[in-house]
């Protein structure tokens, strides 16, 4: 089972890779068969090719992420972070919470993004 420290480090690497404009660094944090639900309630993104494409597009939008509070671990296999997504080109700001679940190898197996219409500012 991954440690709390490992999970927190992966979530920080997610933020850092995203803000560095490095989609390969971000998608590399995920298992090959991982599932992303962003936001929860929308169709799932599954598998290496789909995850790679998702992050190429998300990072290519010019979006930047900033943590709202410190990353939170758990006594289990999940960690969470509350953050803000700023997309200057679109004049958008989205406040989100991502929960990531980890496999035994320390890779993210599932990412759930919690945000809805009330969390979008224009």
The catalytic residue positions are 14, 38
The tokens of 17 are what? 């890779």
- Sequence-distant (≥ 6) Cβ neighbours of residue 18 within 8 angstroms: 26, 55, 58, 59, 63, 64, 65
Coil, strand, or helix at residue 118? helix
CA 26 – CA 55 distance, rounded (Å): 7
* 77 neighbors 102 (Cβ within 8 angstroms): yes
């Amino acid at each position: 089972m991954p440690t709390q420290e490992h999970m927190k480090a992966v979530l920080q690497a997610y933020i850092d890779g995203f803000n560095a404009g490095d989609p390969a660094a971000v998608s590399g944090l995920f298992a090959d068969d991982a599932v992303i639900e962003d936001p929860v309630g929308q169709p799932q993104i599954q598998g290496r090719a789909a995850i790679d494409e998702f992050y190429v597009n998300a990072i290519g939008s010019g979006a930047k992420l900033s943590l709202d509070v410190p990353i939170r671990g758990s006594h289990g296999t999940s960690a969470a972070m509350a953050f803000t997504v700023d997309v200057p080109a679109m004049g958008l700001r989205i406040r989100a919470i991502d929960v990531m679940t980890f496999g035994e190898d320390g890779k993210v197996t599932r990412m759930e993004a919690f945000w809805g219409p009330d969390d979008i500012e224009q």
